[in-house]
Structure 1
Amino acid sequence: MGRFEGQTVFVTGGASGIGRAVVEGFAREGARVAFTYAASGEAAREMVEAAPQGALLAIECDATREEAVTDAVRRANEALGPISVGVANAGGLLRRCKVVDFPLDLWNEVMAVNLTSTFLTARALLPQMIEAGRGALVLMSSLAAHDGGGMGASAYAASKGGVMTFAKALAKEVGGQGIRVNGVAPGLIGTQFHDRFSTREGRDATVARTPLGREGRPEDVAGAVLYLASEEASFLTGEIIEINGGLAMF
């Protein structure tokens, strides 16, 4: 019997990379999982078709839009039952840009994709968790929140710093209602994110500085997310787990 047998889990940005590993990890542990996607419709359909009937629900959703997130949570509840675990994973760098050249609309978009989407997801899930007197939220931050990220990633780093601080503030706010809020801060994880935004030379140089001597895998992050959402972490809240192979230790 899996750790999440009979539970419903809601994951944003769950059709690729880390999000997909999180969705598949919860499903293996017996959960019914609703996950959102934006641009990965084909991958989302393949995931649902490959899973046991009724185990996964894919919902197209712009996680930066209040009404879209609210509707996605409603649909997940109606199809799979009350949600006890939420993972706010949707996010992205969008593109690298120096601050002196940074358009305001791009800055606002990066903040919306990473920080506002996290806020909207948490806010949409909290009422039912408060009513149930229990629940777990896991928010996706980044090593960039600590070190500013790579060149041209100032908005991304700032938004992920906001996610980290939001997790701690929210943990204080809802802890007394039986809800735990934690986060993970991945470093270099081998996903399409770095295929798009990082050079091979830069990635190799990072690996050379990493004590464990490799890039992380999406499953490395998913394992930490599942732990934080589980009863094994029942006395953890406001915690951020750093997943970077020892590249940075805090």
Structure 2
Amino acid sequence: MADLTGRIAVVTGAAGTMGRATAEALQADGCRLALIDIDARALDALCAALPDPSLPVVCDVSDEPAVAAACERIRRELGDPDILVNNAGILSNHKVLQTGLAEWRQVLGVNLDGAFLMARELVPAMKARHWGRIINTGSLAAKTGGLTAGTAYAASKGALNSLTFSLARELAPHGVTANGISPAYVRTPMLTEQLTDVQRDALLRDIPVGRFCEPEEFAHVVRFLASPLAGFITGEIIDINGGLLMD
């Protein structure tokens, strides 16, 4: 377990399966948490279930004024965050001919714009302290074009990788790292509800370890990248896919 006692961490998409695992892990490591999600009821339930108090913030991360207001509240009530986990995301399985412009913009808005807006808000204080961690939740789809995921989703995650590289290059001289995690087929509702039994069985045959990723395994990578142990790692995309893609 890494010692992050006193660090302030912001997790977006916190009420989802991976967000919850991340919140639990970072709190166990000593972080004070600001948890962002668009689902107020699920967010309140998460905060009630965590052993230590956390700040629930209802926000649509694709909405610029809402992000600004959310971050101002976090600064006012907790202080300037040290760690940002951009985990908010939505899935689309529609391929190019089935993807309308509204859906394209919605997926890019949450998956890409949200990470950009959150980083833009929180980076100045990280630079001033000469310490910070930005961790972006990507996807295997960025490298494969989407085995089951759609065009907008794959494009959003590819762009998120590029955003990660850009932030890493810019912020490295200021003691701030930016990295991504590229998971594939984590046991979440995206897997259990949006794929068929046939699709899941086919995937299991292709994943060398023979199982899906558990949310806690994703959270383990987050806590490592957030820790002092990862201070010399930046601009990296860490694959966590059970060997489905090796490069």
Which runs of structure 2 are paired with 1:164-175 in the superposition (5 Å)? 164-175=161-172
Contact 1:2 / 1:28 at 8 angstroms: preserved in 2? Answer: no
Q: CA RMSD for the aligned pairs? A: 1.4
State how far apart, in whole Å, the 1-side matches of 2:188 and 2:76 are.
32
Deviations 1:11-55 (A, max 9, x none): 11101111111111101111111011112x2222122223345x3
Amino acid of the residue matched to residue 21 of structure 1?
A
State how far apart, in whole Å, the 1-side matches of 2:84 and 2:36 are.
12
1:42 and 2:41 are equivalent in the alignment: yes
State how far apart, in whole Å, the 2-side matches of 1:119 and 1:2 are.
27
Contact 1:59 / 1:72 at 8 angstroms: preserved in 2? Answer: yes
Q: 1:82: how far off?
A: 2.1
Which runs of structure 2 are paired with 1:1-250 in the superposition (5 Å)? 3-39=3-39, 41-53=40-52, 55-93=53-91, 95-151=92-148, 153-250=150-247
Deviations 1:46-73 (A, max 9, x none): 22223345x3111100000111111111
Amino acid of the residue matched to residue 210 of structure 1?
I
Contact 2:2 / 2:224 at 8 angstroms: preserved in 1? Answer: no
Q: Tell me, what secondary structure is at the counterpart of 1:158?
A: helix
Amino acid of the residue matched to residue 43 of structure 2?
A
User: Sequence identity of aligned pairs in percent?
Assistant: 38
Contact 1:61 / 1:68 at 8 angstroms: preserved in 2? Answer: yes
Amino acid of the residue matched to residue 45 of structure 2?
E
Amino acid of the residue matched to residue 110 of structure 2?
V
Q: 1:195: how far off?
A: 2.3
Deviations 1:80-100 (A, max 9, x none): 22211000111111x432312
Q: 1:174: how far off?
A: 0.9
Gaps of 5+ in 2: none
- Equivalenced residues, count: 247
Extract structure 1 runs of 4+ deviating beyond 4 A.
none
State how far apart, in whole Å, the 2-side matches of 1:74 and 1:82 are.
9
Q: What TM-score comes out, normalization by structure 2 length?
A: 0.95
Amino acid of the residue matched to residue 28 of structure 1?
A
Sort the Cα spacing of 1:51 and 1:101 in 2 relative to 1 into closer, same or farther, 3 A: closer
Contact 2:108 / 2:156 at 8 angstroms: preserved in 1? Answer: yes
Contact 1:21 / 1:222 at 8 angstroms: preserved in 2? Answer: yes
Q: What TM-score comes out, normalization by structure 1 length?
A: 0.94
Sort the Cα spacing of 1:104 and 1:4 in 2 relative to 1 into closer, same or farther, 3 A: same
Q: 1:234: how far off?
A: 0.9
Q: For structure 1, which segment, 56-65 or 95-104, has the greater mean C-alpha deviation from structure 2 after superposition?
A: 95-104
Amino acid of the residue matched to residue 81 of structure 2?
I
State how far apart, in whole Å, the 2-side matches of 1:152 and 1:45 are.
30
Sort the Cα spacing of 1:210 and 1:152 in 2 relative to 1 into closer, same or farther, 3 A: closer
Q: Tell me, what secondary structure is at the counterpart of 2:82?
A: strand
